[in-house]
């Protein structure tokens, strides 16, 4: 996907109350100033999913994590249309997760992550063992990941990767929109489901 740079995106997001400016220097659990659980979406895109989740579940704190300033700006703009004290955003690369979170997170969402289809790029997939190890330190206690994708190969790779790493599959389906699983759609999900792509879903846990 081509990203169109937005003029003054950095200045705009840095002036938003929803943006965590120095995530590597701040204790994430102090950002919200409460003891509510924290759910993290890695690759939040334009923020439809995470914003609607924050509205629906006010007793959960949410963090949207995205590497592009121009994209996360759109997410922040959605949040600013509402009063959502339980929502924040971080702009950083996935490789920085290990430097930002430590025993902070209760649940991770991986929604429509880049499939990195070439075998030589497998280590870049957010469900690769290397990233699962990073998530270990980010979780407070019990580990819980929910993943959605339209990509068959990434789905199969991820389910196998989760299982090899010791995760237990709690819930899984290969056509989410025909299931009774509660679901809030992302922008990407709406676009591609309308084109006939089936959405795969898996929820895994590890003690």
Query: What percentage of residues in the chain have a pLDDT greater than 90?
Result: 87
Query: What percentage of residues in the chain have a pLDDT greater than 70?
Result: 97
Q: Of the ranges 1-5, 13-17, 178-182, which one carries the lowest mean pLDDT score?
A: 1-5
The pTM score is: 0.94
Domains and CATH numbers, the chain: 29-206 (3.40.50.150)
Question: pLDDT-based confidence at 121, cuts 50/70/90?
Answer: very high
- pLDDT at residue 55 tops 90: yes
Which residue among the candidates 29, 106, 114, 207 is catalytic per the annotation? 114
Of residues 53 and 29, the one with the higher pLDDT is: 53
pLDDT given for residue 1 in this prediction: 46
99-111 pLDDT per residue, tens = 999 999 999 999 9
Burial 181-202 (b: 16+ CB within 10 A, else e): eeeebbbbbeebbeeeeebbbb
Q: In the structure encoding, which two tokens stand for residue 10, read together?
A: 């950095």
Sign of the C-alpha dihedral computed for residues 28, 91, 155 and 137 taken in this order: negative
- Helix/strand/coil (H/E/C) assignment for every residue in the chain: CCCCCCCCHHHHHHCCCCECCCCCCCCHHHHCCCCCCEEEEECCCCCHHHHHHHHHCCCCEEEEEECCHHHHHHHHHHHHCCCCCCEEEEECCHHHHHHHCCCCECEEEEECCCCCCCHHHHHHCCCCHHHHHHHHHHECCCEEEEEEECCHHHHHHHHHHHHHCCCEEEEEECCHHHCCCCCCCCHHHHHHHHCCCCCEEEEEEEC
For the question of residue 104 being annotated catalytic, the response is no
180-206 pLDDT per residue, tens = 999 999 999 999 899 999 999 999 999
pLDDT given for residue 16 in this prediction: 94
């Amino acid at each position: 996907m081509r990203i169109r740079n937005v003029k003054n995106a950095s200045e705009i997001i840095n002036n938003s109350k929803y943006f965590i400016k120095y995530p590597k220097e701040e204790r994430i659990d102090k950002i919200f100033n409460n003891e509510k659980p924290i759910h993290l979406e890695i690759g939040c895109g334009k923020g439809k999913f995470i914003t609607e989740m924050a509205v629906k579940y006010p007793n959960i704190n949410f963090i949207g994590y995205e590497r592009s300033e121009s994209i996360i700006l759109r997410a922040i703009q959605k949040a600013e249309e509402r009063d959502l004290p339980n929502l924040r955003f971080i702009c950083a690369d996935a490789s920085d997760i290990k430097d930002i979170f430590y025993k902070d997170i209760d649940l991770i969402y991986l929604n429509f992550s880049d499939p990195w289809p070439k075998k030589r790029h497998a280590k870049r997939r957010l469900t690769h063992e290397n990233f699962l190890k990073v998530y270990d330190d980010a979780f407070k206690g019990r580990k819980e990941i929910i993943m959605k994708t339209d990509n068959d190969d990434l789905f199969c790779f991820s389910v196998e990767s989760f299982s090899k790493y010791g995760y237990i599959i709690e819930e899984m389906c290969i056509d989410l929109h025909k299931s009774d699983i509660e679901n809030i759609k992302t922008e990407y999900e709406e676009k591609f489901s309308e084109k006939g792509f089936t959405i795969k879903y898996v929820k895994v846990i590890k003690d």
